[in-house]
Structure 1
């Protein structure tokens, strides 16, 4: 098999050193006010060997926060701190996109301005519990957004994207439409029981994601915008029965925008195949937990045409030099789950590189 994983790739106007993408991963290491920290500068700079880094989910507004100590991109202070990160990544030859993530109902009043209710397409409480500063707490019933509020959130996505590009120095932004957060809540019939233009048919349920993405593309240029989706993913208590219809509507709506990529957290292979056949731009596929992270598996993902770029999450968490290790067939560090979410620099920026263990 001819190797392509470690060859350069043109992502629109951006040249990537290789075809391995660091997938977005929540780490809960920002300050209480959503400002990125010195440790975050180190963390992302360490992983600049990825062809492309997509940051952890970053809220476009205070209402969009879903977990403690997640970063924001809605104040000048946050943007200035992110600028230190993008500068550090660029100095090491890396490329970095910011993921815009509005958590919607996957939040808690303790994380909301004025201890308000989280917002959602409809007042449907998620099953389970949410991690808060006081520990795990039951999810609450969210407040259904008014139509005008949905339109306001679309504008917030666009303004956050503008801040990310113009002030924070990112190469681009990724709209997070996956994993049970707000855009996915609109897509799924289990969480979207609206009767206005954002609910009902598959086309209507796709409308929020499409409008938010179009607004972001208009604000910063479509060549700087990607979208992430996760067909049939039940994470965060998502109930989605019309997967093929919904993602057909999503792809047909996104295709004319001229975005730089679509990022799929792979579910049913048949859905990925349909997306691939109807998507003319770069397709990133994250096999999630279905494939072990090996050079052979990632090469096969590219070789069979399912993807143009391969996204990897947890292997990058424990291996800042993952590309270097895969190129050499070296053993990978194993991550410590107890330090995945929040904590100190231990299990965050202290994983050794291959050179350090030689």
Structure 2
């Protein structure tokens, strides 16, 4: 039974475009299903986070990461008395706006878009589910509920102060909230906050796993880190002489569990202390209620510092980052200068744009939707004289 402060499906604020309710699914279940069936969600299969797609089959992609985040979000929501399907929908949608090549691609596209309003993957995710996914007869986008859209837009916290000029927001956010107010000055629902923390839990553990698989550091090195070291020590006590692969898995799954337990313990206390009895009271608290403990935040800062130095700045990753950034920057320049090389529907939109900014937005939407492999293929076809188009 959901708690009173959960976002209850029957109390949803509804959709921008009214639709008949489903006889078999709640509004949030429909949101989840529409996200899973979207083109943008399928493309996450070939979008990477740190490594580019062809580096190996075992590394996480945006799709496998999103599934992991959704699994954690459901666990947190169930234990805390929240609505699981809403937490799951926000978790599954949270990475839809990412470019090819992870944060490297985003940084490169943002740099190219600075004269035209910049690029932000959270804002792009909202743009995708409200406009770019054009499959339904009666509306653009997926026509998700207010609660899911709110979670996508501000799962990491408020984006502006109450009454602030929306001109300070990314254009995708500003344009949408002008017709459908998502109350960007408040925190999101507890379900969206759970999805955000689930993202932190997933990437903190799987980056350690992927880094070990890639040989960027050793198990002995990460066993010196807070939380991680305790988990390796527990495995060694319980299973002395365990083979390295099983030892690594056993330790990292314990790290995963420790992060989940910390969030649950901390969040139960915060929810109780908040006195909030409704979802709107959760939003109005002025602080998140789903969170890590202060001690774990400090520990994770050390873990992220290690990963930053030993993984994200590793020479092998740096080389791929340089290539990826060049691919995105050059594609943007080519499409802006010669929009005729775009596919038919994108070309028409770019060529009929009323301004350079309008054209840039079309180009950014097209590049952001690319998978790693398609971006590499497109770049090769447009820049290699020997390549067949």
Query: Could you tell me the TM-score, scaled by structure 1's length?
Result: 0.29
> Bigger radius of gyration, 1 or 2?
2
Larger RCO: 1 or 2 (CA < 8 Å, sep 6+): 2
The structure that is helix-richer by fraction is 2
Question: Normalized per residue, which structure has more strand?
Answer: 1
Q: TM-score, with normalisation over the residues of structure 2? A: 0.27
